[in-house]
Structure 1
Amino acid sequence: MRETVGELVRRLRLARGWSQQRLADLLAVAAPGRVPPTRNDVSRWEIGTRSPREWLPYLAQVLEVPRELLEAAKAVQLPAPEPRVLTVADFLPDSDPLAPLATRAGRQIGAGQVVDLANRVHGLRLADDVVYGKDLIGSALRELRAAVKLYREGTHTEDVGRELLRVIGELAQICGWIASDAGQHGEAERIYRLGMSAAHAAGDGVLAGNVAGSLAYQWSNTGHTAEAVELAQAALEDAGPDAPAKARALYLDRVAWAHTRAGNDRTAMTALGQAGEALAQDSPGAESPTYLYWVDAGELQVMEARVYTELRRPLRAVPLLSDVLSPYDASHARELALYLSWLAVAYADANEPEAAAQTTARMLTLADGGSERTSERARVVLHRLEAFRDVPEVAELLAS
């Protein structure tokens, strides 16, 4: 079968050992008067979502092939393809937020500086466990801006640059999560997309899946349910079948939640079962990325219970949540408040308003204005309890 122009460009690029960014840089040199292409442009040419029409002569020059060869490949008509599985590349921003500056005046970046940044990123993750988003967002964004500046302005080897991109991807994931918790959803989406670009450029599909899955989770909770389903599935696709067990379990959990919010009950339950099966394959000695340190059977149990609550199956949700919450670390006040909010709703759905009121009261003592997530969940729970206003415990709670 004859090659498409995207397949030809990819084959020629790989034969030279070039990255997509390297090809984009060489094209920019070959056409100094044009707006330079980005790595994302090259990616889209290769997967066939865009055509390199006006770039054909420059591609021929850089790849050292006759222009007629590229023109012939561009004319190849393939049979109607099967519906294409979306990947994270389909959700990258149009421009490259990590494009290096034309003149890099910064200092040489070494592996030690990347390790230092990675340690600060993990410290930020641990801080997020106990500090609310509105209290953490300022320092998190300063750290992210400094890291992007370091990459764009500094000079570094290809290996160091790749590791720096990977750390920026991790940093963007936690910064996006913090921004979302602070209620800054537009800012969070911008940050997540930057992180997806960094992970994609680093060639780290597991990390790209984590960042994309985080954005899918936000979309699930902010009304963009169809897009959330597509992105959550793309995150799982990028991670691949050989991803660490914890990664596949987490990404399947996000697929389950996206389908739950979209009203696809059966698909959600299937994904939940697959998440449990994936985590069961984890072994004590198995290596997983540091950013998955929190993924365990208890967290999957919480998601399962949330799905059951959303599907109005409280008799399944209540035992799961009660089991997880009994030994839960009280220093993680935000997560504890969020999980209690789901338990309160499940009690209300089970027609146990007294238990729902008691659980809500406990939840409200932990909720804090610094987290938009807990504030939103408090509004949801209190609205749900309005139906039981004639119950004394509920009436007292609503009046306080």
Structure 2
Amino acid sequence: MRSALARRDVGQIFMLLNRRHGMTQRRIAELAGFAASEVYEITRGRQVMAYDVLVRIAEGLGIPRALMGLGYGEGAAQERHVEPLPLDGPEEQKQFVAALAGFAVGGSPDVDAWLPRLGERPASVPEVVNPEAIATVREITQRHRELDATYGGGSCRDSALGYLAWARCLTRSRCRTPDLAAALCAELADLHNLVGWMSHDLGEHLEARRHLAQGLVYAQKAGDSTLMADAYYRLGRVSIHQGNPAEALHLFQLGQIVATNSNCLTSVAILHANIAWAHARMGNAPAMRDSLARAHHEIGRADTTDAPQWTRFFCEPGDLEGMSGVVHSALARHSQYREQHAALALGHASRALKRRTETSRSGALDHVTMALGYALLGEQDKVVPHAQAVLDAARQVRSRRLLDRLSDVADVIEPPRDKQLAELVTTIRARVAA
């Protein structure tokens, strides 16, 4: 929140109040002096820049004006940071992706203007970084990774972000050897990638892109191609979620370049599976089948016991099945492939569900694939139990991405043909809008 206030990012402030603290958009509007429709527009990207309006917001919401740089008072951020470049428009995103592409071919593009501003304060850090300090960063990152996988990004993103602000201060300490310096950069890359993924899971895609770009920078400094592939993979996932499969394909292919150079077969398999998803979204069936087959081939010959930590989710028995279901259901959205590939999606998702916990985010996403497959086949009576399973899981899995994917199911089954389906669509819409 302090970071959003310092940037005067009113949309982010409103989203944090709404999603993290349960304040309704109507209540925010009453306090800040807006119409409810204006609050919605602001959370969707409308800019608020007028000084008097910012003052009204601060006073209405009880925010110390100094935290927004609006004049007097104690508590202003101790460090001032130049605002990062915007990433809202298509041209800005195109420039951002073009700059990131340089890392894949061994360049060192200047991307500092897009990187996240964490508002670091002076912290008590060791004078010298030792292996134990680096191991601690690794352990805390892994614990957050496990929480995110089970309960969603909303369960631990703030905790990871707070730790990241401190861990980055270790770069001010001295590393006795180049290997230790590289190891520190690798752990910071992994943590930035994870925070970026959690931000994406919460629907905060702009912040996700910034953290993933920072992860890419640290990964290159560490000389770690697998972590560079991780950053490209997750950047592509942000693009595909935002409805830009062509951009996603470009990012996945960049990730594939560095993954191949790393000789890490698990990361190669992950990138092939996601390239298949991008092709499926664009209706390119032959390329989709080829990429998905290559993903199965590469994971089949990978030594999963030695896989990098970030790739190990894909070594689980159900994950490639679940991903295959997502890919086939994406192709099934194109009418000429609907019947065959919706049925294939159901088969893969069903097998995935048998191999993992339904209450985890992955299990809930498998239920989304099942519901979507049945909706595409017109078997709407079979949609309800799977959609209800997702709604039940969403009570403990804090993932905006999960609800957005469930919203796709509601889009397919509208108009519902009976009362139960109508109630389901209404419930989904209400949960998505909450």
TM-score, normalization by structure 2: 0.66
Q: 1:371 aligns with which of 394, 399, 414?
A: 399
SS at match of 1:311: helix
Output aligned runs, 1:72-91, within 5 Å.
87=104
Change (3 A) 1:399 1:85: closer
Change (3 A) 1:273 1:85: farther
Which whole-Å CA distance do the structure 1 matches of 2:223 and 2:423 have between them? Answer: 56
Confirm or deny: 8 A CA contact 2:345 2:373 kept in the other structure. yes
Residue range with higher mean Cα deviation, 85-94 or 293-302: 85-94
Structure with higher Rg: it is 1
Matched, 1:320 2:340: no
Query: Which one scores higher on RCO, CA 8 angstroms, separation ≥ 6?
Result: 1
Q: 1:166 aligns with which of 176, 186, 201?
A: 186
Change (3 A) 1:134 1:293: same
Q: 2:309 aligns with which of 290, 309, 315?
A: 290
Which whole-Å CA distance do the structure 1 matches of 2:289 and 2:146 have between them? Answer: 31
Question: One-letter code of the match for 2:407?
Answer: R
Deviation at 1:88, TM superposition (A): 6.5
Output aligned runs, 1:232-247, within 5 Å.
232-240=252-260, 243-247=263-267
Which whole-Å CA distance do the structure 2 matches of 1:288 and 1:326 have between them? Answer: 24
Matched, 1:109 2:129: yes
Matched, 1:257 2:274: no
Confirm or deny: 8 A CA contact 1:92 1:196 kept in the other structure. no
Could you say what the CA RMSD is over the residues aligned between the two structures, in angstroms?
A: 2.8
Deviation at 1:396, TM superposition (A): 4.3
Which whole-Å CA distance do the structure 2 matches of 1:278 and 1:213 have between them? Answer: 16
Provide structure 2 residue ranges, at least 5 long, that are not aligned to the other structure.
1-97, 117-124, 333-340, 428-434
Question: One-letter code of the match for 2:388?
Answer: A
Change (3 A) 1:262 1:118: same
Output aligned runs, 1:1-400, within 5 Å.
87=104, 94-95=111-112, 107-151=127-171, 153-157=172-176, 158-240=178-260, 243-283=263-303, 286-296=305-315, 297-312=317-332, 313-332=341-360, 334-368=361-395, 370-387=398-415, 389-398=416-425
Which whole-Å CA distance do the structure 1 matches of 2:109 and 2:277 have between them? Answer: 22
Confirm or deny: 8 A CA contact 2:350 2:366 kept in the other structure. no
Question: One-letter code of the match for 1:162?
Answer: A
Which whole-Å CA distance do the structure 1 matches of 2:108 and 2:328 have between them? Answer: 30
Confirm or deny: 8 A CA contact 1:133 1:179 kept in the other structure. yes
Which whole-Å CA distance do the structure 1 matches of 2:255 and 2:155 have between them? Answer: 29
Question: One-letter code of the match for 2:363?
Answer: L
Query: Residue in 1 aligned with 2:35?
Result: none
Which whole-Å CA distance do the structure 1 matches of 2:390 and 2:143 have between them? Answer: 27
Which whole-Å CA distance do the structure 1 matches of 2:284 and 2:408 have between them? Answer: 22
Confirm or deny: 8 A CA contact 2:349 2:370 kept in the other structure. yes
Question: One-letter code of the match for 1:282?
Answer: A
Confirm or deny: 8 A CA contact 1:217 1:258 kept in the other structure. no
TM-score, normalization by structure 1: 0.71
SS at match of 1:173: helix
Deviation at 1:86, TM superposition (A): 8.1
The percent of aligned pairs where both chains have the same amino acid is: 23
Which whole-Å CA distance do the structure 2 matches of 1:234 and 1:336 have between them? Answer: 29
Change (3 A) 1:201 1:147: same
Confirm or deny: 8 A CA contact 2:375 2:409 kept in the other structure. no
